[in-house]
Amino acid sequence: MKVAILLPKERSGMSQSLRIDSSLALRLMRIVFLLPSFYAFLSSMAWAEDKAPDSAATMAEFVRDNPSCVDFTDGCSVCTVTDGKIVCSAPRIQCQVKALTCTRP
């Protein structure tokens, strides 16, 4: 199957056509539509990698500063300290992260 694109001629009333093979047209469409989402995905991954260590460091600091606290939360997930390790539940959907607070001293 061939795809024809009509291009106007500059000075005459006739138009010329540029024929593109359908497989080439499909490849071009994939590139045009998938590249922006690919770059958006990469940038969101880079942003997530930048933010993850901050929260882990903050939790470790919170546990260090509050040694008697067994359970704490940030409003999205509940964390427990067992044997010096922090174990957290999965975050709730559409939650707003708040300051860490001790729920069970």
pLDDT (mean) for 53-57: 58
Tokens linked to 79: 């964390």
pLDDT band at 17 (very low <50, low <70, confident <90, very high): low
Rounded to the nearest integer, the mean pLDDT of the chain is 75
Q: Computed over its alpha carbons, how large is the radius of gyration of the chain? A: 28
By mean pLDDT, which of 26-30, 32-36, 44-48, 55-59 is the weakest?
44-48
Q: Rounded to two decimals, what is the model's pTM?
A: 0.47
Share of the chain above pLDDT 90, in %: 26
The token duo for 18 is 């540029």
Pairing of strands 78-82, 71-73: antiparallel
Q: What is the DSSP string of 6-62?
A: EEE-SSSS-EEEEEEEHHHHHHHHHHHHHHHHHHHHHHHHHHHHHHHHHHHHHHHHH
pLDDT, residue 28, reads 75
Q: Between 92 and 41, where is the model more confident?
A: 92
Q: CA-to-CA distance for 17 and 4, rounded, in angstroms?
A: 6
Report helix, strand or coil for 80. strand
DSSP three-state, residue 64: helix
